[in-house]
Structure 1
Amino acid sequence: MALFQKSPALKQGERRAVQRYTVDCAAKLKMPGGDRKGRLSDLSEAGARFDTQDPPQKGVSGLLAWGDHEFFGKIAWANENSCGMIFERPIPPSIVESTCEIVEVQAGPVANFGNIPVAKRGRRASLVSRDS
């Protein structure tokens, strides 16, 4: 029995069998060669996108951990700052839903209303009168 099996045939041009969701939470990829810290940015029942400064190569197996969850999978693709993981078994939809509720927002400066340009009243009035 193979660790990963091909999913049922999909329509031509369609790559994913399940819906994926945009998420944003801290995560860790645990591998025999060392752990990688990063952010979970995409999640579905079948896999996830993990953003990190040093992603592992395609084919590497490991545990993707976030919050109280850990799931085993294999790296399906990688680029210079992220990788895609396919889970060994689909994860429960309830975990996908609860993770979608975790969106960590970094606090930043509040907009200063003094820096927002204000339209001049006369300009709009002159445009309206030309169109009449």
Structure 2
Amino acid sequence: MFASRLPLPSRSYTGRRASARLRTRLPARMVLLGGTQHCVLIDLSLNGARIQTSTPARLGDEAVLIWGSFETFGQVVWATDTHCGLALFEPITDALLLETRQLDQVARLPEDRDLTRQSAQAWAQGKAKL
């Protein structure tokens, strides 16, 4: 069902992007052959996405990325223990990028450091236990 469709990145990566990225922090899901995992959409462009994951993605895996009421299909082209890059098989539209920006304004997740600060404040005030 899932076949390798995109060439994996070469070592001669120059750091230039084909299009600008929209920085987000939206709850998302990545549907892989091995199952679905909850993730955070960190940024999105017309041709790709950077995703924060709780379990490492595998290089070359194909995935459906779902956020809000949107979805797209692509392949993992780089991965670390906590993040991965998804190259999209079909570019998304400018309109979808704008709708994602609007969604980010109302559904944006707090930054990790903000969550840590809130937990520390609650603990210092005796409202939470570690």
TM-score in terms of structure 2 length: 0.70
Q: Secondary structure at the match of 1:15?
A: coil
- Among the aligned pairs, what percent are the same residue? 29
Whether 1:59 and 2:57 are equivalent positions in the alignment is: no
Deviations 1:48-77 (A, max 9, x none): 011011031110001000011111100010
CA shift in 2, pair 1:105/1:71, >3 Å: closer
The answer for the alignment partner of 1:79 in structure 2 is 80
Is 1:42 aligned with 2:37? no
Name the residue aligned to 1:123: none
Superposition map of 1:16-27 within 5 A? 16-27=17-28
Contact 1:24 1:102 in 2 (8 A): no
- Gapped runs of 5+ residues in structure 1? 7-11, 110-132
Greater share of residues in helix: 2
Deviations 1:63-97 (A, max 9, x none): 00001111110001000101000000100111111
**Structure 1 position 98 matched with structure 2 position 80:** no
Compare relative contact order (CA 8 Å, sep 6+) and give the higher one, 1 or 2.
2
The answer on whether the counterparts of 1:36 and 1:55 sit within 8 Å (CA) in structure 2 is: no
Partner of 1:70: 71
Structure number with greater Rg is 1
Q: Which residue of 2 aligns with 1:128?
A: none
Aligned length: 103
SS in 2 for 1:102: helix
Residue of structure 2 in register with 1:126 after alignment: none
- Where does residue 31 of structure 1 map in the other structure? 32
Show structure 2 runs of 5+ residues with no match: 119-130
